[in-house]
């Protein structure tokens, strides 16, 4: 069995606390036509480099039935900057157009098979996976990026087309797993393609 959710598979359910103080479940987004779930964090240079682009993409598609939901699954023991308090602080400063959830148990990251930060999963109305992988081919230095795979996928989805490239390798820091070295990844977690 693959570590990461496969194209066509259903979005795993979750119930997680958000920086706005509410708890959100997958079912809370049932009216959303296209749901982008992405695993992120507060400190990763790949996340910090690409967040402004991600914000533009979220804003670009919000009137086309697309909703972004961010999840931070990183262990705060491994990286204290990924604490919930720092999440709230970041959202207050940056005013990102997404809900930012805390996956303290890391069960949601395991259910989705999140490999890196950032790692994007795009689902249709029935919550079947249409695209997974990276946003940019150079998220740390977005000014040097040559392709935005997430933008291309969302353009095709919102135009009612089939996603041409539905699977890419996420580029970023690995998820910081509780009780493990900062660079550890599960043995079954390998590159997607």
Confidence (pTM): 0.95
Quick one: how far is CA 4 from the chain centroid?
Answer: 13
**What is the spatial distance between Cα 151 and Cα 131, in angstroms, rounded to a whole number?**
11
Structural domains in the chain, CATH included, are: 9-174 (3.40.30.10)
**What is the spatial distance between Cα 103 and Cα 84, in angstroms, rounded to a whole number?**
10
pLDDT digits (tens, 9 = 90+) for 174-193: 999 998 888 787 777 765 55
Give the pLDDT of residue 191: 56
**What is the spatial distance between Cα 130 and Cα 122, in angstroms, rounded to a whole number?**
6
Q: Diameter of the chain by CA atoms?
A: 44
Q: Is 83 exposed, middle or buried (0-12, 13-18, 19+ CB in 10 A)?
A: middle
If you average pLDDT over residues 5-16, what whole number do you get?
97
pLDDT digits (tens, 9 = 90+) for 101-147: 999 999 999 999 999 999 999 999 999 999 999 999 999 999 999 99
Q: Is the pLDDT of residue 158 over 90?
A: yes
If you average pLDDT over residues 66-87, what whole number do you get?
95
pLDDT > 90: percent of the chain: 88
């Amino acid at each position: 069995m693959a570590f990461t959710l496969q194209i066509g598979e259903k979005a795993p359910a979750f119930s997680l606390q958000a920086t706005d103080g509410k708890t959100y479940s997958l079912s809370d987004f049932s009216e959303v036509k296209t749901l982008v779930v992405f695993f992120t964090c507060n400190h990763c240079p790949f996340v910090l480099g690409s967040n402004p682009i991600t914000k533009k993409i979220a804003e670009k598609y919000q009137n086309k039935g697309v909703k972004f939901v961010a999840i931070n699954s990183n262990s705060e023991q491994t990286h204290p900057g990924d604490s919930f308090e720092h999440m709230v602080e970041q959202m207050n400063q940056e005013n990102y157009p997404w809900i930012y959830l805390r996956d303290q148990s890391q069960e949601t990251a395991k259910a989705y098979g999140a490999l890196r930060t950032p790692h994007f999963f795009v689902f249709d109305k029935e919550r079947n996976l249409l695209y997974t992988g990276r946003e940019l081919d150079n998220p740390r230095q977005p000014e040097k990026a040559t392709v935005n795979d997430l933008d291309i996928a969302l353009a095709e989805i919102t135009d009612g087309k089939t996603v041409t490239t539905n699977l890419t390798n996420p580029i970023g820091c690995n998820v910081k797993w509780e009780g493990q070295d900062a660079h550890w990844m599960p043995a079954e977690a390998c590159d997607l393609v």
